[in-house]
Structure formats: structure tokens, C-alpha cells
Structure 1
Amino acid sequence: MALIGVFDSGVGGLSILDEALRQLPKHDYIYLADSANAPYGEKSSEWIASRSMELCQYLAKQGCDAIMVACNTATAEAIAHIRAKLSSIPIIGVEPGIKPAAMQSANSIVGVLATEATLKSEKFNALLATLPSNCLFIKQAGAGLVPLIEAGRANSEETLELLAQHLAPIQEAGADTIVLGCTHYPFLRKAIRKLLGDSINLIDTSDAVVRQLKRKLESQEGGVEKSSHGSVKFISSKNAENLLKMAQELIQSDLSKHRIDSALVSAFH
């Protein structure tokens, strides 16, 4: 049984943890939310890289056998540095699913809803440059959406109004596919469907990310215990009780099957 660390700026990475609990329920997990500093998307590249490294080093010290950087912004700004520093364990990042989106779009017009930091990052734009030029990508920063999701208001009228503003350029361009380029944004699926209907194709990469984790774990020595569900520890830099409450609301997997614990890490304020 492996101990897997999952790190995000806040509750967004719960979408990745949820998929991990579905595919790999036997493992133990530490979910680390840096909610005291969310959102990351509007902070400097240097700050994001330094903070992400600090938190991943903390998870490594807890004995994690693998770490999922379940934050698109942190992945874009820091994943290479983290992998170089923590080279003894697998570090799995998340990237906007622009490649599968380009392949699935019928009219080759794809909207990319992500944070400002992700859209400006070298990593994202290098990936974009490898894709066919006949596909038009409408890049849109979702400023203000993460704090609303963090506050448990993903389906509020305020969120709906802000989301409508962000989706307008994508809709006007005629996109038939939207990439959810931030791990917080899968929690906006209901709101997006309300605004754009069921015909729009929504792409998030949580399934692919967890399959990559599975491959990495299978390549390591040692089998996986098959008898029971593992444990999940929720750690927050702001409010551990609130993080646990949000997890219970947002995660569709049955958390009651897992041993649950929560803690506040005041050193990370």
C-alpha cells in the first residue's frame, strides 16, 4: 500500500483526489490544501514555484511514495524544479487537456478556461505550439472563479454571472469544446451546462492524471494491499474543518469507506 500526497492551492485538487479514490481506493492519501494562499493563479511565477516546492518537500517528509501536484498553475510554474529536487519519487502534474480537446473538437474551435498564470506559462505555450495550427484555441482566464469555489459557492448566482462573462468570448467564437484548465473548474460543470447546454464538450484530465499515477506505482516494487480501503488525511494551511466539510460536499466517492483525519498546519500560514 502506497502513501500518496495530493497538493493544491485549495479545494480544486479534490477533483483529482476523487478520481484517485475511484481508481485506487486501497492506498493511503494525504490531501494538502494551501487555502491560506489560494488562489495561486494571480501570484508571481517565483512565488508559485517557491511555495509549491516547499509544500511538496513537506509531503515527501511525511513519507509519500508519490506526489500529485493537483494544481494546473503549480504544475506549469514548478513541476520541473520539483521533479529535479525530489527525484527519488514520482511527481505527477496536471496539464490542461488541449491535445485531446483538439482531437475531439468537430469544428476545430476550442475554448481554454484556465488561470492567468497557466495561460501565460512557458509550459502551456510550449504544449500549444506542438498542436495543429488549424485548431483555433480561445484562451480565457477565469479570474475570480477560484475564490467563489473555495467559498462553497460554485453554483451561486454570483458565480453564474461571472462565469457567463468569462465564457462569452468562447461562445462567440463558436467553440464546441471547452478545456477545464484548472482543477477547480470541474466543480463548475453544472453551472457551465446551465449556461451553454449539454451539447458543449467539456474536457478535464483527472482520469488521465490518475492513470499516469497508477502506471508509476505499478512500476515501483511492492504490491498493493487488496483487503480494505485506505485512509485519507486532509491538511489545510487555513481551516482543516472547512476543508473536510468541502471534501464531503464535493467528492462523489464514498468517504465513509476510508479512515478520515484532518489537521491544520500552522507552519504554512
Structure 2
Amino acid sequence: MSTSPLPHDAPVGIFDSGVGGLSVLRHIRAQLPHEHLIYVADSGFAPYGDKPEDVVAERSLTIARFLIARGAKALVVACNTATVAAVKLLRARFPEMPIVGVEPGLKPAAATTRNGRVGVLATERTLAGAKFLKLRDEIAASTGATFLLQPCQGLADQIEFGELDSAATTAMLERYIAPLLAQGADTLVLGCTHYPLVQASIEQVIASCGARGVVLIDTGDAVARQLGRLLEAGGLLRHVDAQVPARLEGYTSASATALSAAFNSLVGIDPPVQETDFAERSTVGHI
């Protein structure tokens, strides 16, 4: 837990392999507007999806320690791959700290689908993970839903590069989404936190395929609600303080300029950002 004498006033730490977690941060800011936040984009180590699970777990532990050293009272693992690899480890190492992970929204998708056919867009590592496959089997058995799995190689990288509506990104989306729609999927799970950032392009591809009434499932809202529940249960919700507005700061293992641009274009804000290697000392990037 935070060592702050007023732990409720401490920040919430959020991290992802890059800018994808900003889709989760948007929901957290909307639902918990008084909370101080620290966002870490590990873009210098991205993508996580092509690295061994133990490497991602160790990296996640390093970033968690970095955030805790900066007073974080709770952690949000805003990355599906890191959640699969590390959330169990993080909870074991920091048992007193609220820790929220993300996972593809199979349960809400099964409750939403009208014809029982759900497409799941995610990274190859997420779809191959034992935790995901166990969840899929359990929900399929209890609901009768059929989950059509579509690995989206390279899509998170395109989003990380800022190509949200480029021709290359659109072609990639068509290649991944069209087969799911052809198989009758009426619900699509956005199983990587990067993917909601191209929701407009996804909707255009769905429309170009002639599909109607397709529902997109983004779990960022559920993550923010769970964080709020855990903070309230632990007495850690920050009190409203008109004199001290909520702060947001960012850290990145790559370019501070790039993360600042992502904050501006994807969230519409301009917080201070620093470059760091996640050791104790950081170098100032954009302030």
C-alpha cells in the first residue's frame, strides 16, 4: 500500500505496453474524475505480444515497483497481454493493494449476442493464453455462445504508430473483421486495449461489409467500475478537493513527445510527461 499519510489522496497507477491503455484511462477519468493518476506507456519495450510470458511478467513487476515508489495506492494493468502474464504475480507480491487487470469481455458479449456467435479480436498471445482459453470454455459451456477467435497481428503496432485511420490500418481491419462477420458474428469483442482507439474505423469496416446491428464490447468501462469498487471498499477514494484538482502525469520508456501527442490526440489533454527506464531516476521530457 502507499506510504502516504493520506492514502486516499495518493495516485492510481495505470500501465500498458504503449498508448492502448489510454482507452482505459478515458473511462477511469470519466468515472473517477477526482483521482490523481499516473500513466505508464512502456513503448520502448513494446510490443508485449511477441515476448515470452515470463519476460512480460518481470517487466510488469518492474513497472509496478516504479509506480508504487511514486506513491500509487492501486494499480490498473491496462494491457490484456500483461494481465494474462502478470496479474496473478502482482497480486501475490502486493496483496494489500487493489490491482485491476483487463480481459476480453467474453461474459458481457455472451449476454449481448442475439444469435450466439461472438467474434473476438485480440493479440495472438492473448488468444493462446491458458487464462483466456479457460474463461472462453467456461462461458461457452454456461451460455452456449460460440466464440470465433481472430488474432490481429500488427494491429496494435499500427495504433501505436498513430495510424488510426490510414489505408494500411483499414485494410488490416477488413482482413480481420470480414471473416468474423461472414461467419455470422453479431457481437465483436475488442480484446486489446489498443483497439477501442480505432473504434470509428472498425465501425466503418462493419458498415462496408453490409453488416447491421453489430455490437462492440469494450471492457474499459467495466475496469473503471471495478477500480471504483475496490477503492471504495478499501477506504481509498479520494475526497473532492476544489483546492487541489486531480493530477495526471505520464511516463514512457520511449519518446515523451510521442506520448504527449497521444494524450492530446486520443484523450484531448496535455499532462506532463517524462521519459524513464523505470529505475529510480527519470529524465524530464515534456512538461
2:252 alignment counterpart: 236
What one-letter code is carried by the residue in structure 2 that aligns with 1:225?
H
- Matched position secondary structure for 1:163: helix
Which residue of the other structure, out of 263, 273, 277, is the alignment partner of 1:262? 273
Alpha-carbon distance between aligned partners in 2 of 1:200 and 1:250, rounded to the nearest angstrom: 24
2:228 alignment counterpart: 214
2:3 alignment counterpart: none
What's the CA shift string for 1:193-240, capped at 9, x where partnerless?
A: 111126210001111101110011111235522134311111000011
Which residue of the other structure, out of 82, 92, 103, is the alignment partner of 1:74? 82
Q: Quote the offset at 1:126 in angstroms.
A: 1.1
- Matched position secondary structure for 1:68: strand
Q: Is the 8 A contact 1:57 1:86 kept in 2?
A: no
- Matched position secondary structure for 1:139: strand
Q: Closer, same or farther in 2 for the Cα pair 1:37/1:222, shift >3 Å? A: closer
Q: Quote the offset at 1:147 in angstroms.
A: 1.1
What's the CA shift string for 1:18-42, capped at 9, x where partnerless?
A: 1111111111111000001211112
What one-letter code is carried by the residue in structure 1 that aligns with 2:255?
N
- Matched position secondary structure for 1:40: coil
Instruction: Tell me whether 1:169 sits opposite 2:179 in the alignment.
Output: yes
Alpha-carbon distance between aligned partners in 2 of 1:200 and 1:181, rounded to the nearest angstrom: 16
TM-score (norm 2): 0.88
Pairing of 1:65-214 with structure 2 (within 5 A): 65-133=73-141, 134-197=144-207, 199-214=213-228
Alpha-carbon distance between aligned partners in 2 of 1:80 and 1:56, rounded to the nearest angstrom: 13
Alpha-carbon distance between aligned partners in 2 of 1:225 and 1:200, rounded to the nearest angstrom: 40
Instruction: Tell me whether 1:59 sits opposite 2:34 in the alignment.
Output: no
Which residue of the other structure, out of 20, 31, 34, is the alignment partner of 2:39? 31
Q: Is the 8 A contact 2:49 2:123 kept in 1?
A: yes
- Matched position secondary structure for 1:138: strand
- Matched position secondary structure for 1:58: helix
Q: Is the 8 A contact 1:9 1:33 kept in 2?
A: yes
Q: Is the 8 A contact 2:35 2:237 kept in 1?
A: no
Alpha-carbon distance between aligned partners in 1 of 2:114 and 2:278, rounded to the nearest angstrom: 49
Alpha-carbon distance between aligned partners in 2 of 1:152 and 1:49, rounded to the nearest angstrom: 26
Q: Quote the offset at 1:168 in angstroms.
A: 2.5
Alpha-carbon distance between aligned partners in 2 of 1:97 and 1:104, rounded to the nearest angstrom: 11
Unaligned regions of 5+ residues in structure 1, if any? none
Unaligned regions of 5+ residues in structure 2, if any? 1-8, 280-287
What one-letter code is carried by the residue in structure 1 that aligns with 2:275?
L
Alpha-carbon distance between aligned partners in 1 of 2:117 and 2:278, rounded to the nearest angstrom: 45
Alpha-carbon distance between aligned partners in 2 of 1:127 and 1:175, rounded to the nearest angstrom: 19
- Matched position secondary structure for 2:272: strand
What's the CA shift string for 1:223-261, capped at 9, x where partnerless?
A: 522134311111000011210110111115xx37xxx32
Q: Closer, same or farther in 2 for the Cα pair 1:112/1:70, shift >3 Å? A: same
Alpha-carbon distance between aligned partners in 2 of 1:56 and 1:181, rounded to the nearest angstrom: 22
Alpha-carbon distance between aligned partners in 1 of 2:164 and 2:48, rounded to the nearest angstrom: 18
What one-letter code is carried by the residue in structure 2 that aligns with 1:67?
L
- Matched position secondary structure for 2:61: helix
Q: Closer, same or farther in 2 for the Cα pair 1:52/1:223, shift >3 Å? A: closer
Alpha-carbon distance between aligned partners in 1 of 2:10 and 2:17, rounded to the nearest angstrom: 23
Q: Is the 8 A contact 1:42 1:115 kept in 2?
A: no
